[in-house]
Structures are given as structure tokens and as C-alpha cells.
Chains A and B, each alone.
Chain A
Amino acid sequence: MAKASLMDFDKALELFEPVLGFEVHVELNTKTKMFCGCANEFGQGANTNTCPTCLGLPGGLPQMNEKAIESSIRLGLALGCDIAEYSRFARKNYFYPDTAKNFQTSQYDEPIAFDGELTIELASGRQVTVQIERAHMEDDAGKLTHKGGATGRIQGADYSLVDYNRGGVPLVEIVTRMIEGGESDSPEIAKTYVAAVREIVKALGVSNARMEEGNVRCDANVSLRPRGSNILGTRTETKNVNSLRSVERAVRYEIQRQAALLSAGGTITQETRHWHEDTGTTSAGRPKSDADDYRYFPEPDLVPMAPSREWVEELRATLPEPPAARRKRLQSDWGFANLEFQDVVNSDLLDVVEATVAAGASAQSARKWWTGEIARLANVAGVPADTLVQPVQVAGLIELVEAGTLTDRLARQVLEGVIAGEGTPAEVVENRGLAVVSDDGPLIAAIDDALASQPDVLAKIKDGKVQAAGAVIGAVMKAMRGQADAARVRELVLERAGQAG
């Protein structure tokens, strides 16, 4: 594959106006699949979650999952969509080995939700309103693994293996209208839009929203319109871009590639393109052609949905605060500086910090622990921070620190104990005997010993050089093997040295 030539991004923007469009597929986190009672679980043994329906065996029939419909309606409402009074599934007919029935059960001209919008805010503060054309339901395909050949990719493989566990998992596909006027912000718009959708589905609780597991997948359409022209360019569709950073890069890459090609007198082929994470490039996939004839028709094995207006309003009442509004509110409630707040948001720790504050911790302490020690441990363990420890435990830990029962150093040990499953922070303190010594007796004995062995220091303190106390404090902490509250030791040192107060 010849390497495509790219035009400088700014130059491309001088010559062309990028026009974007996105199709974001969201995998719902229902307990069961869209049309059968098989479990919707990631990472199970191959073909363990299958039945005659999702395997497309002769005689299998679909049954609609009510929860999936509820989730789709809630998602539609959160995107500001109208909910259809009458909506149907259709069959999209095409042959492919990962599609058990050789048709996808999808919504065609009668989607459950349509005509919405989502306003996103870029880093510059620029607000962009993305028009949502529709959000429709469909079922996912199974998973193919390509074997043999050099690359493990489809090209050059000798054969492929199919696992239908994912086949039939409910998806909502959110389709935008054309996004114009993005200009040089276009790559950032792409990333921010997908991030916003991801945030919404997470806030709704309708998807696990893990992009790395394919819960949220983006197809990015890019076309270029020559400046001064009102004719749309031919678009390409870059499929299955599965991280926010990649979405941004893929859009930037396509703008640069298409600009170079057009400027050199070439034409853009309407085609799907594949994103390659390793090289940061896209490559040509299948061209769109007249042969794409999906022969849609209403799925005769299912009956129409006519969600009652009462039901829709009930579901509307369950919608959480929109994520953008929530972020504004939390930042102001917590009094965080922009950078502090961004740190929490970017680390995906907003929920746990909020829960920790709700459990009684101060916002700053919650932020400090989650973005600091817990994030560090999570990084070491290679797991998301929010899976390591419960907010309520973190709040308990912070409470012990603030009550003077634990020093920060001890608290880190307690945290390790909590993560190791040794119990609540209080139980870990108890079992490991980690509490700060609060009885002054042993402390005073240790201080007196330390002062006695460092008479020069004692003299300095008595002279008013209170910073000299540090050496004594260090010795005392060492003697106490850390199980003392440094602040209290300092108080006592000054007191014993005659500098009370």
C-alpha cells in the first residue's frame, strides 16, 4: 500500500472547508441480548452465550428486549430527540460470516428517536451544536478472528474463526447531520463530540462506555468542500475508530490526505476506510457501489413499537442532569481551579470524587487521594482507578487522616490494606495496629530521650529557633516507627523545650 501524501493541515484549511458527520455505535449494557435471552457479557468463552435465535439457526425467532428499548428511548431523550410514536425494525440484508442471519435487524426509515442536538464545548470555550439526525436500534455482529497470513488482519488471512457471543448484543447507532463550519477545530470537534456522547451514555447508565472494549465505536465521515464552492465533496467513512485520541487523529489525517489528493487533481472515492492505530493512517476499504443493495423491508418476525407518551415522560423523568451542566455545578460547588477540575475529569474520576464527597470527605482531599495515590496504584495494577477501591472507603480513610488518627504515610498503608481486601479503613488500622499513638505518654518519653541526646538542638529551640525542632521530630518519628502524628509531636517538642504555644 503506497503511503498517501498529506497536505499541511493549515494549508488544507486555507483551500478547503471540512464537512464532518459521525455514526457512533453504543453497545447497551442490558443483561441480555437485543432479541434473545442470552447473556450480554464481554470476555466469556467463545460461543457460550448463544441460542437458536442469535446463532441464526433455522427456526430461531427474535423477541425484543424491553430494557434495550427503554435505554434507547432514554438515550434519545438525553440527545434531545423526539421519540417516535411508531417505530419498527427492518432487515438489512447482506451476507457476512459474522452476521448469523445474514441480515442485520436494524431500524431503517422508522427509528425510535430522531431530530436531536448536542452542544459541545471545545477547549477554547467555543460551543458547537451538533444536530442529531436519528438514534436507532440494531443488533451487533459476532466477532471474527483472522488466522494465518502474516498480519492477523483480514488481508492475507488463510481462514477466519467466528465467535457469536457478541452477535445480537443491542446497539444504538447515533447519526449526526452534516457538521459544517468546524474549520480548524474539526479534529477537536470529532473528539469532543464522541467524548460527549460517551459521557451521556455513561451518565444514563445505559452502556459501560468502555471504548477499549468496543462499547462505543465511531465511524467518522469526512469530506472537503473547496473554498468558494457550494458543492459538497465526496466523503469517506473511517470505520470503528475506538479511542477519543484516534477519532481526532483520523479526522485530521483524512482532511490532510483528501486535501493533498484533491489539490493534485485527484478524486476522492466514496469508500469505507480503516484506521490504523499503529501508523496513525487510514487505508482504503470497500468502495460504496451500486451493488450495495440491502433490500430493507420491515422485519416480519417482530411487531411495531408504539411507546406510549406516558412511558416516554416517565423515562424523561429518570434522566440525569446533563453531564456538561453537572460539571459546571460540581466545579463551582467544590471550588476547584480549572486545572484541578480538568485533572479529575480527564482521569475519569468525576463520579468517584463526587461519591467520596457525598460520603463525607472534603472535595480537595477526595481529589488529592483519587488523582494521587489511588491513580498511582491503579496505574501500577493496570486497572481503572474506580475499580480499585470504593468511594466510601476513601472517605473513611480521609476522615481518619483529618481526625489525626492517621498520618498521610500511615494512610497510604491503610489504603493498601483496604485494596488488598483486609476490610474497611478502620478495620485495617485496627488489624495492622497502624493508628497514630495518641496517648502522649510514650511520645513524651521519646521526645525527652531525643532532646537529651541532642542538647545543641534543645538549646537552639530554647533560643527561639523553632525550625530546629525538625531534627528532633524526625528522631521521634523514627523511634515511634512512624506511628505518631507529626503535628502533635511538634507541639510536644516545643512544649518540652519550653516554647509552648
Chain B
Amino acid sequence: MPEITAEQVAHLAHLARIDLSQDEITSLTAELGQIVEAVAKVQEVATPDVAATSHPIPLSNVFRPDTVVESLTVEQALSGAPDRDGDKFKVPAILDEE
């Protein structure tokens, strides 16, 4: 089982966009190590012949007709926005690019 390192936790925090403090990274590294060790137990029985279940009750082909439904009003859509400019949501400068 791979040991969980502080660097790894910092990387995970970056992927998860959480600006963890150094203290949090330290405590999470320890906790995560313990939890991962405990949950790795699933590998004992997860043999290749067992199929994965993603949904508890199997369903398929659940579709919606292509019919327009009333949208929110612009005011409703923006009602919770921390910042806005006119009818658009306003966000700080984007430096990283997708």
C-alpha cells in the first residue's frame, strides 16, 4: 500500500482547489494514511470476476423529451452570486488556462 505523503496531500488539495494550511496538510496526511489503510480492505474481495455496481438499482435509457421548459429569470439565476456585472457573473482574473 502506498504511503500517503504530505506532498501528495498538497497535490490532492490543489486538484480539489482547497488552500490547505501547513497544519491541515500535516494532520490530513496522518489521518488519510489511517483511513486509506482501513478502506484498502475492499481489495481483499474485489476480484476480477466480480462486476462493478455503479447504481444500486439498475436502470437504462432514461431520457427526456427535447421540449423547452421555463428557465429561471435572470434575477433568479444571479440571486446568489457573490459578485456580478449586469446580467453576468463576475469572477477575478483567470490566469491558468484550460
Interface residues of A (CB under 8 A from B): 30-32, 36-39, 45-52, 55, 57, 63-69, 93-97, 102, 144-148, 154, 157-164, 272, 285-286, 291, 293, 295, 298, 300, 302-307
Contact = CB atoms under 8 A, between A and B. Distances in A.
B15 interface: yes
Interface string B27-55: 00000000000000000000000000011
A272 B98 CA distance: 9
A300 B80 CA distance: 26
A64 B62 contact: yes
B63 A66 contact: yes
Given A46-B88, A66-B66, A305-B61, 11 more contacts: A36-B69, A45-B87, A46-B74, A47-B77, A57-B80, A96-B94, A102-B17, A160-B90, A161-B90, A163-B89, A295-B15
B96 interface: yes
11 contacts: A32-B69, A37-B67, A37-B70, A51-B71, A66-B65, A67-B66, A161-B88, A161-B89, A162-B89, A162-B91, A295-B15
A37 B67 CA distance: 6
B9 interface: no
Interchain residue pairs A-B with the least CB separation, the first 5: A37-B69, A67-B66, A66-B63, A161-B88, A63-B64
Given A31-B68, A37-B64, A55-B72, A158 B93 contact: yes
- Among B15, B55, B88, B92, find the residue whose CB has the most chain A CB atoms closer than 10 A: B88
Given A55-B72, A306-B60, A32 B94 contact: no
By secondary structure, the A interface counts as loop
A69 B87 CA distance: 32
Nearest to A301: B55
B77 A55 contact: yes
Contacts of B19: none
Given A47-B88, A160-B93, A160-B94, A32 B67 contact: yes
Contacts of B1: none
- By secondary structure, the B interface counts as loop
Interface residues of B, number: 38
B66 A305 contact: no
A298 B54 contact: yes
B61 A306 contact: yes
A160 B68 contact: no
Given A36-B69, A286-B98, A162 B60 contact: no
A46 B78 CA distance: 11
B23 interface: no
A144 B94 contact: yes
A463 B84 CA distance: 87
Given A47-B78, A97-B91, A293 B61 contact: no
B86 interface: yes
A66 B64 contact: yes
Contact of B55 (A32, A97, A303): A303
A154 B61 contact: no
A39 B11 CA distance: 39
Contacts of A291: 11, 14-15
Nearest to A274: B97
B88 A65 contact: no
A66 B74 CA distance: 27
A45 B64 contact: no
Nearest to A297: B54
Contacts of A66: 63-66
Contacts of A38: 68-69, 71
A49 B65 CA distance: 17
Nearest to A49: B71
B15 A293 contact: yes
Nearest to A94: B98
Nearest to A145: B88
Nearest to A38: B71
A163 B71 contact: no
A64 B9 CA distance: 36
Contacts of B85: 147, 159, 161
A286 B66 contact: no
B87 A160 contact: no
A50 B71 contact: yes
Given A32-B69, A49-B71, A285-B97, A159 B92 contact: yes
A41 B69 CA distance: 13
A160 B91 contact: yes
A303 B87 contact: no
Given A55-B77, A303-B62, A305-B61, A162 B88 contact: yes
A418 B63 CA distance: 43
A93 B85 CA distance: 27
B75 to A, nearest CB: 10
Contact of B96 (A31, A48, A286): A286
Given A48-B74, A160-B91, A161-B88, A96 B68 contact: no
A189 B69 CA distance: 42
B93 A52 contact: no
A487 to B, nearest CB: 54
A398 B80 CA distance: 59
Contact of A37 (B14, B61, B68): B68
B72 A51 contact: yes
Contacts of A97: 89, 91, 94
Contacts of B17: 95, 102
Nearest to B88: A161
